[in-house]
A and B are shown apart, each in its own frame.
Chain A
Amino acid sequence: MGVAGETAPQALRGPSWDGRFTVLILFLPPALLLFTLFVVLPIGEAAWYSAFNWNGFGKPTNWIGFDNYRFVLETRAFWLALRNNGLIIAVSLAIQLPLALTLALMLAERFRGAVALRMLFFMPYILAEIATGLIFSFVYDGDYGLVASIWRTFGAEPLHLLASTDTAMLAVLIVIVWKYFGFHMMLFIAALQGLDKSLIEAARIDGATRSQALRHVVIPLLYPTIRLSVFFAIVGSLQLFDLVMPLTRGGPADSSNTMVSFLYNNGISRMRVGYGSAIGVILFVICVTFAFTYKRWFMRDE
């Protein structure tokens, strides 16, 4: 902060209102137009369609008010999908993030092979979701897959993880953790490398052990990144779709549906556009509520 820092606001302050007005006239319309076209209109349209019993042909005419919402809430599969989204969030927070943080703490330091290991762990994230799903559907295959051959060495009956209502969701969760922990690990590594090392050194000089320094200095300094990671993990969990489709398509018996695969299976495949729109609106409300609350409570200062 020097001379420049002090003159800049003054320059703005000069023709204050006029200047801002010009900026407003110049920059607001395009932004507003884009926002309206690509955000407000589609959401509004979905909300509008959700009030009709409509199959996507022609104009919606059969107005049924809130019935679609009632139908959605009466469906057992919807609640299963909601529960599954909850499960994904829980696993992301309880297993994925701690795993990512642990690995990040180990790999943030400079040693031979650190970069290679980082890339190795990050690799699953680079892979396209749909490809990951296909790969794992082979891995899980009870007759030919990796799981099958492990199973066979123990002489057990073939196990079809994706074909049973008891294990399908578990199998999906494992893939989710495998796929995304590398992303969070990279976020943490970046944050760790940006930390002010002198603070840790100061703590060590003051007699703090390694773990004490970690608990009381490093982790608190990482809080902004952790909060961001949690945000990404939850929003990503709510939107999960492209891993589920190649693995199970939400089955068997809807046991591994997420909200979005439930939306796709019902709204698109069944041509119940109104019903699907209602699911979309519900999901939208959940996401927005979460995003705003989280921002307000946990990410205030950022």
Chain B
Amino acid sequence: MRLLGKLGLAAAACLLGAQIAAADTTVKWLHIEVNPVQVKLWEEVARAYEASHPGVKVEMQFLENEAYKAKLPTILQSKDRPNIIYSWAGGVLKTQIEAGVLDDITDQVKGYSDSLTPAALAAFTSNGRVYGLPTALSQVGFLCNKELMAKAKVDPAGIKSWDDLLAAVKTLKAAGVTPIVVGGADKWPLHFYWTHLAVRIGGKPAFDAALKGENGGFAGETFQKSGELFKQLVDLQPFQNGFLGFKNPQAVGYFGDGKAAMTLAISTVYHLQRALAADKTGLSEDKICWFDFPVVAGGKGAPTDTLGGITGWLITKGSPKEAVDFLKYFVSKDVQTRLAAGNFIIPVVQGADAGLNNSFMKLIAANLAKSNYHQNFYDQSLGPSVGRVVNDVAAEIAGGSMSPQDAAKAIEAAWKQGN
């Protein structure tokens, strides 16, 4: 009976809550975050906002990453769409803007937007109009296992060029260590190689030219060369056995278990590997090393150029003004500092990086600050249809079923079909 009583009370409370909410504004916020610690922090932020803004209710909704991408077009065109949605910027954002499903929030964030890292804000700006706010930056680079590197007598600090990397792979193999682990079943972890090589070989000019269809577009020299160099690596068989069957979380866990010397990963993996390792503790921070993606001899890209993500939030068409207000609160110096202190993000609000208390995160923040060309992941920036072809061909080169030339041609063909 006591249980029944409690249930009744709970039901009554729900009803009461629903009645209050019905009279107020609800901001629906759709996210894809799987890290429970970070979601809990967000939840706290939302409740704090509600407390200081009576009459506004912030409701969190969740969808898994792939499901989210698949359902987004339908969600955005429904009348009951969420007000704040997750975004990787890039080609998908461009399509959403063209389809008119997003709110232009330029005027609402005027003045405030000056506090954000310009490059991050630019990713959510189109034709001078702002459609969303960035929330985090990341960098792709090599994470390494100090013990295994030492076992094979490879100095991670000495890996500066592509040839150094190839040599390191050979040395590691000779020492009986699996050089690199990668989640090949998800394909996108493999595209980091191809894309980052392109960033090193051609730099920003090559990418911009390809977008305009100049120099042979994505079938041009830069992109063929990045496939060829990637093939050089693949031919050394650097990856763990069965890498095409590994999903990314599995691969990250494999690295956390200390079974491979290196992994080319997003900077967030530095912490994520601990949660995904078999023993849930993974590699402690003193056992991990990091080095930037090696440079390519004769490449036009600067060594400081970075590949990584720019993620943030968009406001959908017809949302209440409270949605933007909450978002500004969420991407404020105070909240960003808290998220940074938890090692969740490299913040985008200027000054919030003071919250970073971890030397690795500080290093990545410094790298991003130095970078004059931060390339968003190709699979995001080229939009879903072409981006996924990039992932496909990277996996095919790695699996040996496609030549670098055909790979570059396939991307160019997809680019022409998609436009």
Q: Which residues of A are in contact with B by a Cβ distance under 8 Å?
A: 53, 55-58, 71, 140-143, 157-165, 248-249, 251-254, 268-273
Most central of A57, A58, A268, A273 by chain B CB within 10 Å: A57
Per the bound structure, the CA–CA distance linking A58 and B401 in Å amounts to 37
Residues of the A chain whose Cβ atoms lie less than 8 Å from the Cβ of B184? 163, 252
A270, B385: Cβ atoms under 8 Å?
yes
Residues of the A chain whose Cβ atoms lie less than 8 Å from the Cβ of B249? none
With A163-B184, A165-B401 known as contacts, the answer to whether A58 contacts B66 (CB < 8 A) is no
Q: Considering only CB atoms, which chain B residue lies closest to A265 in the complex?
A: B388
A253, B241: Cβ atoms under 8 Å?
no
Per the bound structure, the CA–CA distance linking A269 and B243 in Å amounts to 22
Per the bound structure, the CA–CA distance linking A2 and B98 in Å amounts to 73
Nearest first, the 3 A-B pairs at minimum CB distance are: A160-B242, A163-B245, A57-B99
Residues of the B chain whose Cβ atoms lie less than 8 Å from the Cβ of A71? 417
Residues of the B chain whose Cβ atoms lie less than 8 Å from the Cβ of A253? 244, 395-396, 399, 401-402
Per the bound structure, the CA–CA distance linking A253 and B389 in Å amounts to 11
Which of A140, A142, A161, A251 has a CB less than 8 Å from the CB of B185?
A251
With A57-B76, A57-B99, A163-B185 known as contacts, the answer to whether A269 contacts B69 (CB < 8 A) is yes
| Interface residues in B61-77 (C-beta closer than 8 Å to A) | 66, 69-70, 73-74, 76-77
How far does the Cβ of B254 sit from chain A's closest Cβ, in whole Å?
9
Q: Considering only CB atoms, which chain B residue lies closest to A160 in the complex?
A: B242
With A55-B385, A269-B66, A270-B388 known as contacts, the answer to whether A249 contacts B185 (CB < 8 A) is yes
Which of B66, B70, B73, B399 has a CB less than 8 Å from the CB of A252?
B399
Per the bound structure, the CA–CA distance linking A252 and B396 in Å amounts to 8
Residues of the B chain whose Cβ atoms lie less than 8 Å from the Cβ of A272? 385, 418
Residues of the A chain whose Cβ atoms lie less than 8 Å from the Cβ of B388? 269-270
B417, A252: Cβ atoms under 8 Å?
no
Per the bound structure, the CA–CA distance linking A165 and B402 in Å amounts to 12
B399, A165: Cβ atoms under 8 Å?
yes
B66, A55: Cβ atoms under 8 Å?
no
A162, B245: Cβ atoms under 8 Å?
yes
A57, B96: Cβ atoms under 8 Å?
yes
Which of A140, A161, A248, A269 has a CB less than 8 Å from the CB of B384?
A269
**B246 interface residue per 8 A CB criterion:** yes
Q: Considering only CB atoms, which chain A residue lies closest to B186 in the complex?
A: A249
With A55-B73, A57-B77 known as contacts, the answer to whether A163 contacts B243 (CB < 8 A) is yes
Q: Considering only CB atoms, which chain A residue lies closest to B417 in the complex?
A: A71
Per the bound structure, the CA–CA distance linking A162 and B185 in Å amounts to 10
A163, B73: Cβ atoms under 8 Å?
no
How far does the Cβ of A56 sit from chain B's closest Cβ, in whole Å?
4
Q: Considering only CB atoms, which chain B residue lies closest to A171 in the complex?
A: B245
A164, B73: Cβ atoms under 8 Å?
no
Which of B69, B100, B385 has a CB less than 8 Å from the CB of A58?
B100
B185, A157: Cβ atoms under 8 Å?
no
**B95 interface residue per 8 A CB criterion:** yes
Render B77-91 as a binary contact track against A, CB cut-off 8 A, 1 for contact.
Answer: 100000000000000
Per the bound structure, the CA–CA distance linking A269 and B385 in Å amounts to 8
Per the bound structure, the CA–CA distance linking A15 and B70 in Å amounts to 56
**B105 interface residue per 8 A CB criterion:** no
Which of A53, A55, A252, A269 has a CB less than 8 Å from the CB of B244?
A252
With A71-B417, A271-B73 known as contacts, the answer to whether A58 contacts B242 (CB < 8 A) is no
| Interface residues in B255-305 (C-beta closer than 8 Å to A) | none
Residues of the B chain whose Cβ atoms lie less than 8 Å from the Cβ of A159? 242
| Interface residues in B366-419 (C-beta closer than 8 Å to A) | 383-385, 388, 392, 395-396, 399, 401-402, 417-418
Per the bound structure, the CA–CA distance linking A249 and B246 in Å amounts to 12
Residues of the B chain whose Cβ atoms lie less than 8 Å from the Cβ of A271? 73, 92, 95, 383-385
B95, A55: Cβ atoms under 8 Å?
yes
Per the bound structure, the CA–CA distance linking A253 and B77 in Å amounts to 33
With A57-B77, A158-B242 known as contacts, the answer to whether A269 contacts B395 (CB < 8 A) is no
A160, B384: Cβ atoms under 8 Å?
no
Per the bound structure, the CA–CA distance linking A165 and B399 in Å amounts to 8
| Interface residues in B33-78 (C-beta closer than 8 Å to A) | 66, 69-70, 73-74, 76-77
Residues of the A chain whose Cβ atoms lie less than 8 Å from the Cβ of B396? 253
Residues of the A chain whose Cβ atoms lie less than 8 Å from the Cβ of B167? none
Residues of the B chain whose Cβ atoms lie less than 8 Å from the Cβ of A157? 241
